[in-house]
């Protein structure tokens, strides 16, 4: 596979627990679960930054991680850079009510927060695996196609 990194653009919503969980789950994926395979830029850079930041989602396959159903990460990425490959909505995993609850500082995390972060981080990893699998399949198909055109034979090697 050509070297491909997956871009993760996360909400870090200040107003609800969903934002805090988005942030922590994204950090866990970047630092531990998919280190080296993933990159991120700060969401607000789409407006404040220059072309380089806006090119981000055009260059990398991108996953938006959102804390609530406003889906700001997805919408902002698509507004400035193009369609995201996948969305993880924390509110769908946690339930809307809990995601919108006001517990937000790291000092105030609920006791079961690590479990919640793991759940969301695993969901992000599933999306990453799917994107990589799709890329590999596409590359394999292109390879087969190019072999077929140049050699005129089928994949068995005998034709």
Partner 1 sequence: MSKVVVIPCSGMGKVYGLIAREAALKVVRELKKNEAETKCLAYLVTGDEEIKNYMQGKKCITIDGCPKMCAAKNAKEAGAEVIEELKSIEFAKEKRAMKPGTATNLNEEGWEVVDYIADKIVEIIDNLEVK
Applying CB under 8 A, the residues found at the interface with partner 1 are 10-15, 19, 23-24, 26-28, 31, 40-49, 70, 72-73, 75-76, 79, 102, 104-107
Under 8 Å between Cβ of 113 and 25: no
Of 44 and 148, the one with the shorter C-beta distance to partner 1 is 44
Q: Residue 25 Cβ, how far from partner 1 at the closest point, in Å?
A: 11
Of 46 and 60, the one with the shorter C-beta distance to partner 1 is 46
Give the burial class of 17: count Cβ atoms within 10 A of its Cβ; 0-12 exposed, 13-18 middle, 19 or more buried.
buried
Q: Residue 24 Cβ, how far from partner 1 at the closest point, in Å?
A: 7
DSSP H stretches of helix in the chain: 17-28, 45-48, 51-59, 72-80, 90-94, 96-99, 113-151
Of 73 and 86, the one with the shorter C-beta distance to partner 1 is 73
């Amino acid at each position: 596979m050509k070297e491909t990194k997956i871009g993760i653009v996360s909400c870090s919503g200040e107003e609800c627990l969903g934002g805090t969980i988005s942030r922590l789950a994204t950090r866990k994926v970047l630092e531990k679960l998919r280190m080296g395979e993933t990159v991120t830029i700060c969401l607000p850079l789409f407006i404040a930054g220059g072309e380089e930041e806006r090119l981000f989602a055009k260059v990398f396959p991108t996953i938006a991680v959102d804390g609530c159903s406003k889906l700001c990460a997805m919408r902002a990425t698509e507004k400035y850079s193009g369609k995201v490959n996948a969305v993880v909505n924390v509110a769908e995993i946690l339930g809307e009510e809990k995601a919108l609850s006001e517990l937000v500082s790291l000092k105030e995390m609920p006791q079961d927060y690590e479990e919640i972060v793991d759940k969301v981080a695993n969901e992000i990893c599933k999306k990453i695996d799917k994107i990589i699998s799709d890329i590999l399949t596409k590359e394999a198909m292109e390879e087969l196609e190019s072999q077929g055109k140049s050699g005129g034979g089928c994949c068995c090697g005998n034709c």
